[in-house]
């Protein structure tokens, strides 16, 4: 069972295929510090997930938008299968978690935009 903790939506003025390639490259190179995360990719290469630790799962969805750019959605889930009740305690009640996640995704979009020489934005 997974519980949605936060979702952040943004976009880039670049084709979804180009964004997808960079995100896959970045996730494939990810290291989790104390643990090695698992990276999953769907067959259409539009949804990527990175899971690590005992509770964290981040999912990225990369889809073309109506203007030829890309809609970029990041969702964080609690996927703890044991001691689920302890996740908020271990994360200080998630105080500031949404804003921290939002800043992190904004920074990720900015890095992608710089590499693709395009404009980026956040919707939520």
**Percent of the chain surpassing pLDDT 90:** 49
Domain count, the chain: 1
Q: Between 16-28 and 97-116, two packed helices, what is the crossing angle to 10 degrees?
A: 120
pLDDT tens sequence across 29-64: 665 555 677 888 887 878 999 888 788 899 999 999
pLDDT at res. 56? 87
- The domain that holds 61 is classified in CATH as 3.30.530
pLDDT tens sequence across 93-118: 677 888 999 999 999 999 999 999 99
Under 8 Å between Cβ of 45 and 101: no
DSSP-based three-state secondary structure for 3: strand
Domain interval for residue 15: 3-122
């Amino acid at each position: 069972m997974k519980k949605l903790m936060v979702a952040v939506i943004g976009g880039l003025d670049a084709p979804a295929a180009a964004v997808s390639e960079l995100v896959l490259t970045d996730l494939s190179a990810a290291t989790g510090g104390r643990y090695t995360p698992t990276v999953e990719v769907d067959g259409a290469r539009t949804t990527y997930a990175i899971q690590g630790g005992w509770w964290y799962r981040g999912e990225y969805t990369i889809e073309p938008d109506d203007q030829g750019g890309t809609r970029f959605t990041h969702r964080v889930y609690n996927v703890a299968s044991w001691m689920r009740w302890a996740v908020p305690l271990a994360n200080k009640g998630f105080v500031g978690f949404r804003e921290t996640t939002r800043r992190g995704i904004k920074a990720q979009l900015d890095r992608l935009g710089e590499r693709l020489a395009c404009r980026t934005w956040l919707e939520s």
